[in-house]
Structure 1
């Protein structure tokens, strides 16, 4: 299969120019001019290669090669077109470019597919402009709640609804899609496993479940010089106990459990006052729901115990509780067989980050492919992947789309 190195490199460079930054990377936020320019340019590109292209109500973009025998059976591939602020050149948009190149190749070399090939460039996944995630994929299945976005604003006070309307879109009025036979998404790993193991492709088995917390420890602020150690209600000390014990337990459990204390805010956060409060976050992830629930329940019990031992109050707000999402077993097996047959360097792995595939998977057979991230870097202007690895990933995707759309 002749997926050309230069074609891949040029396609990445082209899509990255919409919202491209001087220092490299991309900022392309939902319903901005950069976002709209990218979607319109992709629509033109789809039309140029012979696809029927169209937008849905909220701005998801689709391109289709109609199936000759089973036009109502959709084989879909793509990803999200939005980025984080000061993001890279591959996160999300690789999945769009890869599907475009793969489908163009298949149409050119094998003609009309038996089943319809459909490319999707999803409006949003990241939640970087507005505090809402998976707007694009949730609308594919009519599970986005309009009330959740009607009153939200970006950092400049622009309302979600106003930004959407300014780009020519509106709330979804269509029912959930029920014609998608399979969905494949290719994405950068956003971690360092594939690079360290010198593999070009990851076949994803599941997307981790996540529990996230906002925690408030309430002690007593007091003078740093005149308050004896035994009389203190030091919120930072309580936090340090919680952090230390929790991470030690996470290390004992081991992979694939991960635990992160990502944001810590002592109050009043000055040199000469015993801190009376600490606000902090916890992010815990695991591929197994039972293990995730058991570990986080123990975590909550430990926090209550430590706060009580030190005479502090604690407020625990678990604001995210997402179950792990398995990928489709048949598609996983198909991808493994393709990699083996075509001698593509691969490993089976899970995804430690969230993706649009986790929205698709409960509704349609879904699978994911990863390609390596150099130094594991993502959500950063330095985000990159060797072009030869991109080519290998697109080859795997092309073989899979051929098998699904062209074979009985």
Structure 2
């Protein structure tokens, strides 16, 4: 689906002075409120899929949506929708048009910031409240979604919210996965009150369009002095767990040359990851962010080591070539050190271009409101890349101070938050209230 079928009349566009009382929107205040759910001792936010903080946050958001005149509803995956119903059905068909949807994800990384994901959710709720209060019932249904999960921080699987909505993945694919405490995905979803026996509707849903407002999580906008980033495409990525198996033995009596040291082998492989990525050149990036070793005793040679691997690029062939080069290096190292090598792919997402019509409309709004903007790719993965293959999708970025994200120091100035919010309101007005 490449053509965007929503076209607003000229009367559906309005200049900035026609946005009454916009300055009264309490965007930062609601972000601060949401960050109390999962606030941790490190000064950040830890809100993982189906944990207690996550459950409290989603249910508090459902109450907030209702207070602001939206109709809240959960699906079986735990995605939360706030709906502003339109008054128009499909032309002559007697069926409701698919809604125009905005939103982002509610989960965080461990010790994350208060803006990643949450900004798009909060902005969506407040945008629909603002439009309802100042312009009444839309012609086309508008909806905000608080996606249950995007980060992959608790279970080794990312984009569960958007994947379950689009049908890209089902519970049968992930129910066996375990978190670091040994709790399975199936247990966690049930304990949180969701899943196929929860009484909530299925996650599968059809969108007319999806628009995601998000902090950049990088330094480009800040360094170049732009207020808005219009995302042109989102990088593809692959994520793996690499397992190296050796032989546990005494640290004092086993000569170095006779060891089958799984951790030493893994360390050499991790060094190879960096070398291969540097040789490939920008914009390819490869990251090892987690390493574990067994038995994990200081005077025992490691029998098993596991490390994560994340590879990203805007071209799929570059990702595939890099992975093959790394796998070849891993295999060589394992053979040289008499180690066993296993690997499991947890995620494979192709690079995705955003919808040209919506991005053109975003550009027109920025020009109308005299907001400095730039077209740019996203180096981070987002739910928008899951939605774009099934519905027209676009992303709007606002600056991140010093490019810091996934960190308690994550920060975007309120002025920048409001500029992105203004663009979102204009866009939703165009698509929801236009003819």
> TM-score scaled by structure 2?
0.80
Question: Would you say the 8 A contact 2:46–2:112 is kept in 1?
Answer: yes
Question: For the structure 1 residues 11 and 233, does the alpha-carbon distance in structure 2 shift closer, same or farther, using more than 3 Å as the test?
Answer: closer
Distance 1:244 1:133 in 2: 26
Which residue pairs with 2:81 in the alignment?
A: 62
Task: Quote the offset at 1:264 in angstroms.
Answer: 4.6
Which residue pairs with 2:212 in the alignment?
A: 185
Which residue pairs with 2:345 in the alignment?
A: 319
Alignment of 1:265-304 (within 5 A): 279-304=306-331
Which residue pairs with 2:6 in the alignment?
A: none
Which residue pairs with 2:407 in the alignment?
A: 380
Question: For the structure 1 residues 272 and 376, does the alpha-carbon distance in structure 2 shift closer, same or farther, using more than 3 Å as the test?
Answer: same
Q: Would you say 1:88 and 2:107 are equivalent positions?
A: no
Q: Which moved more, 1:268-277 or 1:395-404?
A: 268-277
Question: Would you say the 8 A contact 1:185–1:367 is kept in 2?
Answer: yes
Q: Which moved more, 1:19-28 or 1:350-359?
A: 19-28
Which residue pairs with 2:43 in the alignment?
A: 24
Distance 1:166 1:228 in 2: 48
Question: For the structure 1 residues 287 and 55, does the alpha-carbon distance in structure 2 shift closer, same or farther, using more than 3 Å as the test?
Answer: same
Task: Quote the offset at 1:33 in angstroms.
Answer: 3.9
Q: Which moved more, 1:354-363 or 1:31-40?
A: 31-40
SS of residue matched to 1:390: helix
Alignment of 1:158-173 (within 5 A): 158=183, 160-171=185-196
Which residue pairs with 2:139 in the alignment?
A: 114
Which residue pairs with 2:64 in the alignment?
A: 45
Which residue pairs with 1:13 in the alignment?
A: 32
Distance 2:406 2:191 in 1: 27
Question: Would you say the 8 A contact 2:221–2:229 is kept in 1?
Answer: yes
Q: Deviations over 1:116-162 (max 9, x none)?
A: 11111122223334444333222323444222444455555555445
Distance 1:326 1:108 in 2: 34
Q: Which moved more, 1:132-141 or 1:378-387?
A: 132-141
Question: Would you say the 8 A contact 2:272–2:326 is kept in 1?
Answer: no
Question: Would you say the 8 A contact 2:44–2:408 is kept in 1?
Answer: yes
Question: For the structure 1 residues 239 and 18, does the alpha-carbon distance in structure 2 shift closer, same or farther, using more than 3 Å as the test?
Answer: closer
Question: For the structure 1 residues 65 and 158, does the alpha-carbon distance in structure 2 shift closer, same or farther, using more than 3 Å as the test?
Answer: same
Gaps of 5+ in 2: 1-15, 90-95
Which residue pairs with 1:74 in the alignment?
A: 99
In angstroms, what is the RMSD of aligned CA positions? 3.4
Task: Quote the offset at 1:95 in angstroms.
Answer: 0.9
Which residue pairs with 2:362 in the alignment?
A: 335
SS of residue matched to 1:350: strand
Q: Deviations over 1:40-69 (max 9, x none)?
A: 322222222222222223332212222223
SS of residue matched to 2:141: strand
Question: For the structure 1 residues 149 and 225, does the alpha-carbon distance in structure 2 shift closer, same or farther, using more than 3 Å as the test?
Answer: closer
Distance 2:301 2:36 in 1: 50
Distance 1:324 1:155 in 2: 30
> TM-score scaled by structure 1?
0.84
Distance 2:328 2:48 in 1: 39
Task: Quote the offset at 1:209 in angstroms.
Answer: 1.5
Task: Quote the offset at 1:330 in angstroms.
Answer: 2.0
Question: Would you say the 8 A contact 1:5–1:387 is kept in 2?
Answer: no
Which residue pairs with 1:103 in the alignment?
A: 128
Task: Quote the offset at 1:202 in angstroms.
Answer: 1.8
Task: Quote the offset at 1:245 in angstroms.
Answer: 5.4
Q: Which moved more, 1:268-277 or 1:361-370?
A: 268-277
Question: For the structure 1 residues 396 and 285, does the alpha-carbon distance in structure 2 shift closer, same or farther, using more than 3 Å as the test?
Answer: same
Q: Deviations over 1:263-304 (max 9, x none)?
A: 455778889998887654432111111221122223323444
Task: Quote the offset at 1:328 in angstroms.
Answer: 1.6
Which residue pairs with 1:355 in the alignment?
A: 382
1:205 to 213, 216, 232: 232
Question: Would you say the 8 A contact 1:216–1:316 is kept in 2?
Answer: yes
Distance 1:360 1:378 in 2: 23
Distance 2:60 2:129 in 1: 16
Length, aligned pairs only? 405
Which residue pairs with 1:394 in the alignment?
A: 421
SS of residue matched to 1:4: helix
Distance 1:216 1:100 in 2: 43
